[in-house]
Amino acid sequence: MNLLDVRNLTIELPTHDQQIIAVDRVSMTIREGEILGLVGESGSGKSLIAKAIVGVLNNRWKVTADRMQWMGEDLLRLPVEERREIIGRDISIIYQEPSRCLDPTAKVGEQLKESIPNSILKANFWQRRKARQEKAEGLLHKVGIKNHKRVMNAYPHELSEGVCQKVMIAMAIAKCPKLIIADEPTASLEATTRAQIFRVLKSLNQLKNTSILLITHDFEIISHWTDHTNVLYCGQLVESGKTSDIITKPFHPYTDALITSVPDFKEATAHKQKLVTLPGTIPSLEHLPIGCRLGPRCPNAKRECVIAPKMTKRQSHSVACHFPLNLTKKETIT
Amino acid sequence: MSALLEVHNLCKNYPMPGTLLYRQQITALYPLTFTLERQQSLAIIGEAGSGKSTLARLLAGVEKPTSGDIILNGYPLTEKLQRQRHKDIRLIFQDAKDSLSPGVKIGSTLDNALKLNTDLAKEERIQKIGRTLIKVGLLPEHAEYYPHMLSGGQLQRIALARALILDPQIVILDEALGALDPSIRAQIVNLLLELQESMHLSYIIVTHQLNLVKHMSDNVLVLNEGKLVESNETNRLFMSPTHEYTQRMIASRNI
């Protein structure tokens, strides 16, 4: 069953001389119990999408979509109060810089306890205090923090980034959400802590059937942990499909470049060998090229590329490109 | 011929705050010995708090070592040779955006490095800036830009230009590739490898991204809690790590 179904999500920023389209008609669906990856570089609008889903974007941004359905209810057409209630109950978000997202003036334990709603504490009001304390300790154990006493009495700055991130996850899972949006959960972490965090998320996914939307720029993480992947470039969705399909047979030149730019990822690279890259840099939002936004950097761009390509689908693997790669003559995209 | 850089028993202690007269000390880096040859890359890996950044700062002269010697080209680096050291060993920081002053043009940033360390005339300096910018894949016109007008990858190139403008022998990259996007990162890696060929540079790469270490470096030092736990050639280290800590790190690479 589709948990979240987004069609043609567009996020615009009106400025005095032009309308900046930061996210251009992005569609995606998250099924129950699925880990969906969203890959993109900085400025591709991946965090904007996460924020648009939970509705915490600044008022200046204009969010439109054909539909944004959460279990059959269109979030964009609901009154704000109702929408907030649904999101508060079912969706949690983990931000990328945990030590900056926690309140620096309150102890970690207080913040954690605050995030546990009354409804899941099966206790009478005089027993709540104790139940809440126990629940908070249990949550910390669940995310792999053994020394709960020390952590709960500490302020965020006293803890390391990895522990802060685990606390954030504990806060996110306190209400047993149906969907966790993880926005670069491991950007600032070491390799060993990173593996721990992903193991916690994966176990949640398997034990509680929680869906996870994993936002990152690292293809290695995507390949290890996700079932389906969407690749985003400058606010346009360029490719989506099963992760294994995308990695073995990328259709879009951008995806291909991302995969081959990681040494030793798909095929072995010789020591100190030149890596494959796309020329140029990511365009800024004010100077986006028309048509396919990869156009100026794309190795096989032709005249047709000034018209934005539509999403075309082949089995469950879709791509937005006029000249997709890795297709034999017979297999034309329909 | 002796090695380009030799480090003997380098060690760093910090006084511990809160103790009486700061008499107790924390050892950030236990005595450490290694050498670096010309046109080779040395990677330093370890977790946060393992002392890898401390080592980078000691080598660049940002901090003074508690004891031990750093020998460059056969001469021990002392106070007298400080100026030579600033020329020969250059440091690039993690966040290019933060390490460049926002109110100063790129040209003046680079010019300051020349003014302080060389006796070139104004004309020569301008030419040199132009040449260096071309070397890192930018245009001489970029000297007139302010940092906010450039993208992250271009800023990292500027930071690299600032390091290269004094024709150094060793460039220390302190997590300099961590904050870049993957497609830009590959460009910078290529640029670094090219420059290593053409300018005979040596790199000291401080990072926790193991696949880059494997790709770029010739030798690896593994630090844990300030102690050197293992040092070996890159290939051998990745094929058969001997220390348990290294094994764990390499295993977690393939999560």
Structure confidence at residue B21 (pLDDT): 66
How far CA B27 is from CA of A160, B51, B52, B65, B67, in Å, comes to 19, 9, 13, 11, 12
**Helices (H) then strands (E): counts for chain B:** 10, 10
The residue of A47, A97, A165, A192 whose CB has the most chain B CBs within 10 angstroms, and thus the best one to mutate to test that interface, is A192
Among candidates A192, A221, A275 on the partner chain, residue whose Cβ is nearest the Cβ of B189: A275
Q: Are residues A263 and B190, on separate chains, in Cβ contact within 8 Å?
A: no
Residues of chain B with C-beta less than 8 angstroms from the C-beta of A278: 183
Asked if B129 contacts B107 with a C-beta cutoff of 8 angstroms, the reply is yes
Average pLDDT of the residues of chain A: 84
Q: Averaged over A59-84, what is the pLDDT?
A: 87
Residue among B152, B174, B155 nearest B94 (CA): B174
Distance CA B143, CA B133 (A): 8
Confidence band, pLDDT 50/70/90 cuts, at residue A266 = low
* Closest residue of chain B to A285, computed from CA coordinates: B151
What's the maximum distance between 2 C-alpha atoms anywhere in chain B? 56
pTM score: 0.81
- Whether domain A2-226 has CATH 3.40.50.300: the reply is yes
Of B153, B234, B249, the CB nearest to A281: B153
Task: Give the whole-angstrom CA distance, residue A156 versus residue A162.
Answer: 11
Lowest mean pLDDT, pick from A166-170, A171-175, A177-181, A294-298: A294-298
- Compare A214 and A264 and report the one with higher pLDDT: A214
Q: How far apart are CA B110 and CA B52, in angstroms?
A: 27
- State whether B186 and A276 contact (CB < 8 Å): yes
The rounded distance, in Å, linking the Cα atoms of B13 and B55 is 12
Q: Write phi, then psi, for B28 (nearest 5 degrees).
A: -85, -30
Residues in chain B predicted with pLDDT less than 50, given as ranges, are: none
Residue A332: band (very low, low, confident or very high) from pLDDT cuts 50, 70, 90? low
CB nearest A42 (choices: B181, B212, B252): B181
Test A281 with B154 for CB contact under 8 angstroms.
Answer: yes
Residue A183 has pLDDT above 70, yes or no: yes
Between CA A18 and CA A5 the distance in angstroms is 30
pLDDT for the residue A334: 47
A263 and B48 within 8 Å at the Cβ level: the answer is no
Q: Is the pLDDT of residue A79 over 50?
A: yes
* Domain edges within chain A: 2-226
Q: Where are the alpha helices (DSSP H) in chain A?
A: 46-54, 80-90, 98-101, 108-114, 128-142, 148-152, 161-173, 191-208, 219-225, 243-248, 253-260
pLDDT of residue A331: 55
Percent of chain A predicted with pLDDT > 70: 96
**B184–A41 C-beta distance less than 8 A:** yes
Is the separation of the CB atoms in B109 and B158 below 8 Å?
A: yes
B190–chain A Cβ distance below 8 A for any pair = yes
- What value does the CA radius of gyration of chain A take, rounded to a whole number of Å? 21
Q: Which burial class, exposed, middle or buried, applies to A239 when counting CB atoms under 10 A from its CB (0-12, 13-18, 19+)?
A: buried
Determine, for residues A224 and B153 on separate chains, whether the beta-carbon distance falls below 8 Å: no
**Percent above pLDDT 90 for chain A:** 2
CA–CA distance, B255 with B253 (Å, rounded to integer)? 5
Residue range A289-326, pLDDT digits in tens: 888 888 788 888 888 888 888 888 877 888 888 888 77
B183 touches chain A (CB under 8 A): yes
- Separation in Å, CA of B78 to nearest CA in chain A: 34
Between A132-141, A149-158, B53-62, the lowest mean confidence (pLDDT) is in: B53-62
Residue B33: closest CA among B11, B13, B60, B49: B11
Confidence of residue A80 (pLDDT cuts 50, 70, 90): confident
